[in-house]
A = this chain, B = another copy of it.
Amino acid sequence: MLRDSPYTLISQSSDCRARRGYVTTRQGRIQTPVFMPVGTQATVKAMRPESLVEMGAEIILGNTYHLFLRPGHQLIGKFGGLHEFMNWKGSILTDSGGFQIFSLKELAKITEEGAAFRSHLDGSKLFLSPEDAVDVQQTLGSDIMMCLDTCIPYPATHQEVVDATALTTRWAARCRAAHTNRDQLLFAIVQGGMDSKLRQNHAEELAEIGFDGYAIGGLSVGEEKELMYDMVEATTPYMPDGSAKYLMGVGTPEDLVEGVWRGVDMFDCVMPTRNARNGMLFTSKGRVVIKNAQYREDMQPLDENCQCYTCRNYSRAYLRHLFVSREILIITM
């Protein structure tokens, strides 16, 4: 790009690819490795921005597809962007919308030009080109934008993977050309299906075009865990070490450790918040299913090693009571 990399390395493990560093956006520094909470519809479900800050969140995600449909990026643009609209002073990464459009399956049609699709809300016909994806994200004012990519189903034939990956490269180049607001960073997405060689080639092709950071897309789409880890391990060495490496849509606590070990700097996933809403909580000692009768009279905090608001102030018995009583306070903790 036209500037130095926004990624700064602090230290590199000598035992594995794990590393500490930070990404600098116009909002400030994001310490890495980082897990980014997902705020699909201009809100991280049930969380006040202040609670996110208290938890240590320096960056959250927004979903371009959802915001494009509702309330519309133009409306958010009128408010001065997503930060202003939702009262979030940290950094925001927006995805390109590609993954959601891909998830629409028969409602979407991909051509060289872009993605034609129908809104899941009202069935209206819509179209998103790579240029549109950048334009929408520039209007949203996110700090890190993602190139529009083609998501590859799993399983897929070799030719399908080759074609979709090549199209992703052409779209990435178009995104880069459409990128006019250089205060916003633009990351490219490595595809290549479950083929190490294709992923390596793709990472190198994208690096040649030059972006502010690089993501691994198209994983955690139904494949075995070991295959996912193998793909990450095969890809990260071919992504520029001077840039941040982001594994999209991953994952469990174990996945984060496995990813960091293989050189990933950034992660996002809806799982922790979605699971918590369903009563499955992650602790330093493992998973807790809070509705279980064993917690009925348990005066301990959820996690005695945790200093968060919930662990500081409430017992497992109280959390269980809220969950069993279907009280909504539990999802705001």
Contact = CB atoms under 8 A, between A and B. Distances in A.
Contacts of A314: 87
Contact of A331 (B47, B320, B322, B328): B328
Nearest to A75: B297
A331 to B, nearest CB: 6
Interface of A: 41-43, 45-48, 70-71, 75, 78-79, 85-87, 296-297, 299, 313-315, 317-318, 320-322, 324-325, 327-329, 331-333
Contact of A321 (B71, B325, B331): B71
A302 to B, nearest CB: 13
What is the total number of copies of this protein in its complex? 2
A296 B71 contact: yes
B321 A70 contact: yes
Given A46-B328, A71-B321, 13 more contacts: A41-B322, A42-B318, A45-B327, A45-B328, A45-B329, A47-B329, A48-B329, A75-B296, A78-B299, A79-B299, A85-B321, A87-B313, A87-B318
A104 B268 CA distance: 48
B79 A317 contact: yes
A325 B70 CA distance: 8
Contacts of A70: 321, 324-325
A49 to B, nearest CB: 8
A324 B48 CA distance: 18
A296 to B, nearest CB: 7
Contact of A332 (B48, B313, B325): B48
A264 to B, nearest CB: 29
Nearest to A318: B85
12 contacts: A42-B321, A43-B329, A46-B329, A47-B329, A48-B329, A48-B333, A70-B324, A70-B325, A75-B296, A85-B318, A87-B314, A328-B331
A42 B314 CA distance: 12
A75 B317 CA distance: 9
A211 B249 CA distance: 62
